[in-house]
Structure 1
């Protein structure tokens, strides 16, 4: 398999202005499998101009029912092409086919969810204390949205943003990560086949400088970004300079909390899913496992035994349970974090090194890694690793669990495992997190809003709140009285 992709601008497939490309590398075998176009600032300007023209001339005049039909078309096409798209994504970023295929069907559901909203973006009538004034609030699209996504789940992350933005009536310019661009470009073929007018959706690819050109070049009405905290800070600063709104979905160091009254079989599965699914390369990873001391040794032992049986292998093999690090820089960062944890004095229980046996030899595989006796002040407990590395931290009381759980700069997700409903209610109320799961972990839904607090970002994706992120309110007052007002006093 070797593909050569092009940019998608104004409904046309075209090379970058300079004709430059870069390699897409399969992290399983380290082979180049595709060439991705390197956009220039001129390409970015053309994409933004195309989106603006489409918005002003076509898309803002397209009614909700018409937008809904197109979104439903996309959902059907994605379902029909789920296997092919999943194979491309697993080839590009090393995530297992069992995960990427499930994500394709999930994104199709998100498109259907927002298709249902497209013709139901209603305003509201405000009853004023003025009998001769009719007041209402309308919700309108922003216009042109810049979307920047990360490499760990390109289509799933795009699914969190794109359907809502299109349903609300916006046009978009998308910049995927340079480490995983292929499926976003491939997805444009489905969008094109679904019947979207030229310019409504545009994709520019390349390194960080392309993203900077997109968010800093003007012509954008809002930015939606998923990625690192460092990238989020840079984008928020640029948005501030331009006085345009921004939504940030950033990292996490999420606490997954097991009390001694929990169903331990379910909790074990939840802990494994929280950190080793997707090789830990997910913003919602339950990378800090907080375990009540009375069951601490038992949980560590159970998790180590199961972690050592996790099947590593070809991401395209349905039997594989954990794939590779997505790219060489991330592979190196994970190993550096493991070495730092050793130096800090955390006890390595299992893993802690690359997996090089047999068919794994060429891949960016890291063994599922567990550290015990982790102090919450350690770097391992405070910094996002974004890999299959679990820090297990003991606690004694509910109050201590909350103190540890909230004791980071992040606040994206949290898990609570208990059969005490009163405890569950107390915990979710006190956890400083955008998402709280009780007796489950890493569960998502098109209907449920998603996003973080603190340094995990702001703004929400999915659900009704995700739709509202891509609309702006307009208040309208209509005075139908016959009175003549005083021109020099505000009418209040």
Structure 2
């Protein structure tokens, strides 16, 4: 597939509309959002903003499908539908990869690897749903059989951000529909392309109408979904402040919530660490998706005995990163998402300077003519920093990390926990007893020891503190999409 051909297709298609009740009706609203290619700032496509009536239509379609079709199916029937969806996604891997690269700015090699994993996400939950069972309870009554049932919640509103639009959409959709729910997905207005292709895959896979609906738009569309009385659960991934507002809105209707929010994750490097491996993890967390990853380790907490060597090694590694056009197979890091995000990242340079941190940019890209039209920034480090500084406490969401030094294990772990966030953490040490102590002590939803991959579909993922509520991934995500019913059957004589 030529990405130039795909770009031309997108640009000449007119305004894209929503996917409601198994169809793509003509959009009724007059407002549209333009999605831009972050590598050069040019428009890619126009997407309609959903009206309140269209949100109503999507929720009502989901409710009807839940009550009449999907909620009544056996697990095996849902499994067979989900398998067909996985096949459709696999068939579209290359197209989806290019859509994500054009929309988000990820290097094409990264997008391809990500898209190849997505059919497995659907397959995983299609298989796990067979284990969605209740249990028989031992109660203190001779004539009562007490057992539990796991039942779906109903209609779930799924709101996903722009950094991993399709991955996060499927990580919400797959467990929800496996459990028997129906859904309304709202992708970010900044990166809607892969959600459109997902809707086409849903239609081609023969998923019953109304089970998966997609509405496009910005904050107004999200608000309409959040406050809709027909929504039983809200699952949101994004910023902590937005998550707090959603939590408050959900409380008014006693809606269930899953909130996967911000992070300022620590990478704790002890003096006995495998230093090259720790440096590689720090490098990857800086450049993966241009640092726009909620679980990225952006606080590098390094023992003073190895701090100089660690900083030298990391600086050298980041200096060699291949920054460039996302469509190039050799590119390791592309642009950030848009001009607003680039401005936000750049503003922290002045914040750190005012606080007394030393800003070190690991490459000079100012003279790169090939990057001048895109939203590019170089990997950077804040040195001579303290954990009280804003650059150590606030989520910058770019390829910027702060280096903090410590002397004792207690001090290192105190620094790791001294954060409003608790999404993930990495620890490097060869001492197995220390590894267990740190895993128990660090306040984070995921702690990786001598390893940098923080999330896989088979294991639960979700934060402590202001990093969120509930879990995504793993069996727990599907359990969070159900409600537990106790059934008490009297079988004595009447």
Q: TM-score range by the shorter chain?
A: over 0.9
Match of 2:26 in 1: 15
Matched-pair contact (CA < 8 Å) for 1:63–1:119: no
Q: Is the 8 A contact 2:349 2:359 kept in 1?
A: no
Where 2:493 maps in the other structure, the secondary structure is coil
Tell me, yes or no, if the aligned pair for 1:356 and 1:365 is still in contact at 8 Å.
no
Deviation of the 1:275 alpha carbon: 2.0
In 2, Cα distance between the equivalents of 1:464 and 1:437? 20
Q: Is the 8 A contact 2:291 2:397 kept in 1?
A: yes
* Deviations 1:349-392, CA, capped at 9 Å, x for gaps: 22498655121110100011111111000000000000000101
Q: Secondary structure at the match of 2:39?
A: coil
Quick check: 1:436 aligned with 2:447?
yes
Aligned to 2:407: 396
Q: Gaps (5+ residues) in structure 2? A: 1-6
Question: What stretches of structure 1 move > 3 A for 4+ residues in a row?
Answer: 351-356
SS at match of 1:100: helix
Task: Report 1:34-433 matches (<5 A).
Answer: 34-351=45-362, 355=366, 357-433=368-444
SS at match of 2:305: helix
Q: Distance in 2 between matches of 1:87 and 1:208?
A: 26
Distance 1:169 1:352 in 2: 50
TM-fit CA distance, 1:444: 2.7
The DSSP-based 3-state class of the residue aligned with 1:134 is strand
Residues 355 and 480 of structure 1: CA distance in aligned 2, closer, same or farther (over 3 Å): farther
1:466 aligns with 2:466: no
Unmatched 5+ stretches in structure 1: 484-492
What CA deviation, in whole Å up to 9, does each residue of 1:272-317 have, x standing for no partner?
A: 1122211110000100011100011111111111111111111121
Distance 1:356 1:231 in 2: 37
Change (3 A) 1:204 1:165: same
User: Residue 330 of structure 1: CA displacement?
Assistant: 1.2
Counterpart CA distance in 2 for 1:325 and 1:144 is 34
Quote the RMSD (CA, aligned, Å). Answer: 1.3
Q: How many matched pairs?
A: 483
Q: C-alpha offsets along residues 440-473 of structure 1, whole Å, 9 cap, x if unaligned?
A: 1134322111000100001001111111011110
- Kept after mapping to 2: 8 A contact 1:428/1:436: yes
347-356 or 4-13, which moves further after superposition?
347-356
Q: Does the 8 Å contact 1:273/1:442 carry over to 2?
A: no
Q: What does the per-residue CA deviation read over 1:145-173, in whole Å, with 9 as the maximum and x for residues that have no partner?
A: 00000000001111221110010000000
Greater shift in the superposed pair: 265-274 or 12-21 = 12-21
Report SS of the residue matched to 2:62.
helix
Alignment partners' CA distance in 2, 1:476 and 1:328: 56
Once the 2 structures are TM-superposed, how far is the Cα of residue 217 of structure 1 from its aligned partner?
A: 2.2
